[in-house]
Structure 1
Amino acid sequence: MAQRTALFFSGGKDSCFALHRLQQQKIDVVCLMTTVWKDKDETVAHGEKLERINGQAKRLGIPVQFIPVTFETYTEDVVKALSQLKAAYRLRGVAFGDIYLEGHREWGEQVAKDTGLSPYYPLWTDEEGAVRLLKEFVASGFKAEVIRVDESKLPKSWVGRLLDASFIDDIQHKDVCPMGESGEYHTFVYDGPIFRK
């Protein structure tokens, strides 16, 4: 039987591509987890409105669970919520869309250990593999747009750009990770092979 798994989900390219990879590996993603600030009606990762994430989840056919957190108690809040989801969904694993930042992986593996779950990192590669991942994401038929940029690293005018061949070419001329692994840019995915038409 496929491992029943929860996926940390932001609505952006990394988490959507991670879901695609997990499905290809026959891992059963039974719920999505999205962290939200307790004092705001938006996601931690991208400042995204919850109704947009809900819309994605409905088109994916996978329930989403919003996890209220504060900056000070973030890890504690996540572990508590994930422990509850483990019981509710009979989880065996938890998946992350991280790519190569070791500190992120160490955090996720500790959360998995604290909740007795197996960690999955379906996109994990080295830093040089980021551009290959971006090309594969676009070639797989995903449609995504830039919703936020770090203006110290990318032009504000890039907000609203679609991830396509032109984007791939342009970002390789910038001194940033092509996948935005350090928060250089964030995206919202609105179509792709994981969605029900």
Structure 2
Amino acid sequence: MKVAALYSGGKDSAYALWWALHQGWDVKYLVNVVPENRESYMFHVPNVELTELVSQSTGIPLVRVYTKGEKEKEVLDLKRALEKLDIDGVVSGAIASEYQRRRIDHICEELGIRSFAPLWHKDQELILRDAVKFFQFKIVSVSAYGLGKEYLGKTIDENNLQKLIEVMERYGINKAFEGGEAETFVFDAPYFKKKIVVVDYEILWDGRSGVYIVKEAKLVDKY
């Protein structure tokens, strides 16, 4: 099975990619959609340029899809990119967004290829706990009451996971951040040959929401 993995750099797309590799499939491409619109309906925005380092670390070629990020038009931009690839299917990290899942499924149906969403409707807290167990990731944006500036750039690990879950439950924050309450980026995973290390960064905070911007990063040996 030759597949392309939709890869934003976030924990869910990283998890879906890992699942595809566990199937023994030939992951031919990482497909990263880069929207101009920060409020994209479909795609993750913060630090997407770091997916180039993920490509280098995994050895999987990166396909960048640039789009204005306009509703529905960004879906067509993705379709145009996928139809040029020699693949049998697409793997995505969709968990609960019917909007996202339906559009990816529709693209694949039109192209005559299969759509795989291994995290679809899985227990969201379990996905979060697994991500902490297997990946090294940081929160790179926050936009929900209860998640303050102190979470920007924070690595979520076994030491602070329970506190984050308690905050989520107290303020009604979706445990998969499906409402856009926060976004993440994975800096190390079991299938990375080298890990990504942040050299320089900037935090932008407006008092209610913010973003952790990686200005410089590099690949380093794990051991």
TM range (shorter): 0.7 to 0.9
Q: Where does residue 139 of structure 1 map in the other structure?
A: 133
* Bigger fraction of residues in helix: 1
* Bigger fraction of residues in strand: 2
Residue 42 (structure 2) pairs with residue 48 (structure 1): no
1:38, CA displacement in angstroms?
Answer: 5.6
Conserved in 1, the CA contact under 8 Å of 2:105 and 2:115? yes
Q: Where does residue 208 of structure 2 map in the other structure?
A: none
Number of positions where the alignment pairs a residue of Structure 1 with one of Structure 2: 184
* Residue identity opposite 2:34 in structure 1: V
Conserved in 1, the CA contact under 8 Å of 2:34 and 2:45? no
TM-score computed with the length of structure 2 as normaliser: 0.76
1:170, CA displacement in angstroms?
Answer: 2.0
1:4, CA displacement in angstroms?
Answer: 0.3
Note the residue ranges of structure 1 that are not aligned, 5 or more in a row. Answer: none
Percent identity of the aligned residues? 27
3-state DSSP of counterpart to 1:97: coil
1:178, CA displacement in angstroms?
Answer: 1.7
Conserved in 2, the CA contact under 8 Å of 1:92 and 1:117? yes
Cα distance in 1 for partners of 2:37, 2:102 equals 27
Conserved in 2, the CA contact under 8 Å of 1:153 and 1:184? no
Cα distance in 1 for partners of 2:20, 2:127 equals 15
Indicate the structure whose relative CO is greater, using CA pairs within 8 Å and at least 6 residues apart: 1
- Give the one of 46, 58, 61 matched to 1:60: 58
Residue 80 (structure 2) pairs with residue 80 (structure 1): yes
Q: Where does residue 158 of structure 2 map in the other structure?
A: 165
Cα distance in 1 for partners of 2:30, 2:79 equals 15
Name which of structure 1's ranges 131-140 and 170-179 shifts more when overlaid on structure 2: 170-179
